[in-house]
Amino acid sequence: MSTPTGDGEPGRREPAGPRAPTGDGLVLGTHWGLLALFIGLGGYHLAGLLVGLVVTGAEPGVGPLTVPELGPVLLLAFVPNLLLGVGPVLGSRLWGQGPRSDYALLPNWRDVQIGVACGGFALLAGYLINLLTITVYGADEFTDSPLHGLAEGLGDDVVWLLVFAGALVIVAPLTEELLVRGALWNALAHYRVPAWAIVVLSAVLFAYLHAEPARTLALFGQGVAIGLARYVTGRLGASVVAHGTNNLPPAILLFLVS
């Protein structure tokens, strides 16, 4: 019985050459998911640097942006996040079986059920670990993320607040999941890394991407809970739902407070 991944018989690796046109997945001797991972991370960091220069006015001849311009800046701030998904999508199209086959991105009803449950566990894990961290180190270590600062600067501009909430609940989960539990997960699975280790490693990358040192442990716990959705279903659609569920209450709260 053939396997759906095209790896051939157990214990045997088929030659990469003949299978390359149909998406064998090997590029320069390694799985395309790893290349997609580095493309996504490179684009993310480069775009983040450029956006930071523009927003803060650090670029010579460019002044810091003012409050009336915060709406467009909000979209600009999500450009690095969008680029996280470019590598996985391009890699899948060029060297894989295509995003629909490689990622199972469109959630079905089971994905929704498991995703919502895992997203709820992610919220609980984040809350409890943050509470423990505050108890041990104090609340002074916690600071708002730059995106939260931008959202608060929008005041009562409902349209831009809705755009921000939509990006937080839909766009960010989609692009981050494509990279973390899409490209990286598939590459590690190709090399037969144990599933539990993939959950852990993807959670580490998830925490790293958010660049919030005080919340690293909480983000790691949330990443594990979100990764369980992919682990249980084998589909990326479930982890996208879990990630969106995890981001929904903070987005609603930020909208109401602003």
pLDDT band at 1, cuts 50/70/90? very low
Q: How far apart are CA 207 and CA 215, in angstroms?
A: 8
pLDDT tens track for 198-247: 999 999 999 999 988 889 999 999 999 999 999 999 999 999 999 999 99
How distant, in Å, are the alpha carbons of 40, 83, 142, 146, 213 from that of 178?
10, 11, 28, 23, 23
pLDDT tens track for 47-65: 988 887 776 665 455 555 4
Q: How far apart are CA 26 and CA 251, in angstroms?
A: 39
pLDDT band at 14, cuts 50/70/90? very low
Give the gyration radius of the chain's Cα atoms: 20
Residue scoring higher pLDDT (23 or 249): 249
Residue scoring higher pLDDT (220 or 79): 220
What is the per-residue pLDDT for 240? 98
Q: Write out 12-68 in H/E/C secondary structure.
A: CCCCHHHHHHHCCCEECCEEHHHHHHHHHHHHHHHHHHHHHHHHHCCCCCCCCCCHH
**Domain coordinates of the chain in residue numbers?**
31-56+67-255
Q: How far apart are CA 208 and CA 202, in angstroms?
A: 10
Mean pLDDT score across all residues of the chain: 83
Q: What is the pTM of this model?
A: 0.83
Residue scoring higher pLDDT (140 or 169): 169
User: By the 8 A CB rule, do 109 and 203 touch?
Assistant: no
